[in-house]
Homo-oligomer: A and B are copies of this chain.
Amino acid sequence: MSSVTAVCHTKVPRNANMEQLQSGYLFPEVSIRQQAYMEKHPDAELISLGIGDTTEPIPRIVTSAMAEYCHALSTLEGYRGYGAEQGNMELRKAIAEVIYKDTGVNQSEVFVSDGAQCDISRIQMLLGSNVTMAVQDPSFPAYIDSGVIMGQAGTYRPGTGEYGRIEYMRCTPDQLFFPDLSATPRTDVVFFCSPNNPTGHAASRAQLEQLVSFARRNGSIIVYDSAYSSYISDGSPRSIYEIPGSKEVAIEVSSFSKFAGFTGVRLGWTVVPEELTYANGFPVGRDFNRIICTSFNGASSIAQAGGLACLSDEGLEAMHAIIGVYKENAAALAETFRLMGLETYGGQNSPYVWVHFPGRSSWQVFSEILEKANVVTIPGVGFGPSGEGFVRMSSFARRESIHEACRRFWRVFGSRSQAHCSRQCVSGAMMN
């Protein structure tokens, strides 16, 4: 075509926010390294305790409900097109009644989504580029990365692992995984995940009361991620809305992924209470609804049918049986590392175990575990500067894989140590 002139590049500027993102997003980055290892060692029998990807089949009561819904889609009576962008009212009602029993959450405040990570990004879009944000350090990287994409994060400070405009709230073991709020400056938004990913720590009622009180004093919005709340078994709150006064200051994001093995099915929800308003009094929920209608078109109707089955009595029973399996896995992992003398956290209220290798680089430990034990983990520093020296292990694996992983850990690292030898000694052994 003679009218076509040669172009090498368009004249469109690359989004400056995208340029601020550091390397790859953590989990794909781990996959790439795992893949590279597999290519070099095609016979290696890798066990993945890395990405928190569910492994137990979904109970039949749930898959049957979804299959039935699929079949109905090929009938005149059963066919359904677009659903409400906010989700089917029946599911919103079930979430309000089952998950938020006695917390005063109304079905109209529940927005069904295709997963917590997607809604976190939509919440960032809702809030825009001018808000300031705080995150737990360490925390799930999507909070920060989505903030960077929206231009909230400021400039990356090489060497520190931090962005200039983000407030990093250290949540280290010596602080009982809770920030020193008296030393934390006010931000517009506070991302808080409990049970925390990666540390596995479930915030106590007293801690969450402090958090809500802090947000109320500051006029901040808490974005509370409760994606792992179904793993809580020690009586810690499962929702921020168990804390009085929270509805005026908190959004809650959650998911069926780890609760029901829906990582591939894709279903989650977000609660935006009616009481939550911007400084000018405008309801946050009304803007969130506009985002949902404009940028999202509802979760898959099939996944929603599955979600509803999960929340039936029989469904809940089946879910909790599976959660029990993962929690036993977590206990086995935690016990192994404790016997090796390593400081080990999480596992009790969470599918994640957080292991400390003092003085070591997380990525080095990641590589060493990958090479010597053929086990994939997640380097703690990927979750923030305070994660340096830690590695996250996921209990989302088949029982036999968990046992095999524990055996390998012992074989490779444990044989040189004694159960009663000092932490330094084991950590030293793992270094060689």
**Residues of A near any B CB (own CB < 8 A):** 1, 3-5, 7-18, 21, 24-25, 27-28, 51, 53-60, 62-64, 66-68, 70-71, 73-76, 78-83, 85, 114-115, 117-118, 121, 125-131, 142, 145-146, 149-151, 188-189, 209, 212-213, 216-221, 244-245, 248-249, 261, 263-266, 276-282, 287, 290-291, 293-303, 306, 396
By the criterion CB–CB under 8 Å, are A245 and B4 in contact?
yes
- B11, B28, B121, B128: which contacts A220 (Cβ < 8 A)? B11
- B9, B83, B131, B302: which contacts A280 (Cβ < 8 A)? B9
Known: A5-B213, A7-B245, A118-B296. 15 other contacts (CB 8 A): A10-B219, A12-B188, A12-B219, A13-B279, A13-B280, A53-B82, A60-B74, A64-B70, A66-B70, A142-B294, A145-B294, A146-B294, A266-B299, A266-B301, A299-B300
Give complex CA distance A304, B53 in Å. 18
By the criterion CB–CB under 8 Å, are B264 and A300 in contact?
yes
Q: List 18 A-B contacts (CB under 8 A).
A: A1-B213, A8-B277, A9-B279, A10-B219, A12-B219, A12-B279, A13-B278, A15-B127, A18-B128, A18-B290, A54-B81, A56-B79, A57-B73, A57-B74, A63-B71, A83-B264, A117-B294, A264-B301
**Minimum distance in angstroms from A343 CB to a CB of chain B:** 29
User: What is the copy number of this chain in the assembly?
Assistant: 2
Given A9-B278, A79-B55, A217-B5: A73 in contact with B299 (beta carbons within 8 A):
no
Give complex CA distance A130, B129 in Å. 12
Given A54-B81, A73-B63: A291 in contact with B149 (beta carbons within 8 A):
yes
Residues of B within 8 A of A264 (CB): 73, 80-83, 298, 300-301
Residues of B within 8 A of A4 (CB): 212-213, 216, 244-245
- Chain B residue at smallest Cβ distance from A131: B12
- B276, B293, B294, B298: which contacts A266 (Cβ < 8 A)? B298
A60, A281, A295 interface centre (most CB from chain B within 10 Å): A295
**Minimum distance in angstroms from A174 CB to a CB of chain B:** 24
Residues of B within 8 A of A76 (CB): 57
Give complex CA distance A70, B245 in Å. 41
Residues of B within 8 A of A245 (CB): 1, 4, 7
**Minimum distance in angstroms from A408 CB to a CB of chain B:** 22
- B3, B75, B121, B212: which contacts A213 (Cβ < 8 A)? B3
**Minimum distance in angstroms from A208 CB to a CB of chain B:** 11
Shortest beta-carbon contacts, A-B, top 9:
A11-B219, A15-B128, A121-B295, A264-B301, A14-B278, A53-B81, A67-B67, A67-B70, A81-B263
Residues of B within 8 A of A298 (CB): 264, 266
**Minimum distance in angstroms from A192 CB to a CB of chain B:** 15
Given A74-B63, A128-B16, A264-B80: A121 in contact with B294 (beta carbons within 8 A):
yes
Residues of B within 8 A of A279 (CB): 9-14
Residues of B within 8 A of A3 (CB): 209, 213
By the criterion CB–CB under 8 Å, are B151 and A125 in contact?
no
Residues of B within 8 A of A118 (CB): 295-297
Residues of B within 8 A of A15 (CB): 126-128, 130-131, 287
Give complex CA distance A21, B281 in Å. 17
**Minimum distance in angstroms from A322 CB to a CB of chain B:** 11
Residues of B within 8 A of A291 (CB): 149
By the criterion CB–CB under 8 Å, are A21 and B290 in contact?
yes
By the criterion CB–CB under 8 Å, are A290 and B25 in contact?
yes
Residues of B within 8 A of A266 (CB): 114, 297-301
A68, A74, A213 interface centre (most CB from chain B within 10 Å): A74
- Chain B residue at smallest Cβ distance from A281: B9
Residues of B within 8 A of A85 (CB): 28
- B12, B130, B151, B299: which contacts A189 (Cβ < 8 A)? B12
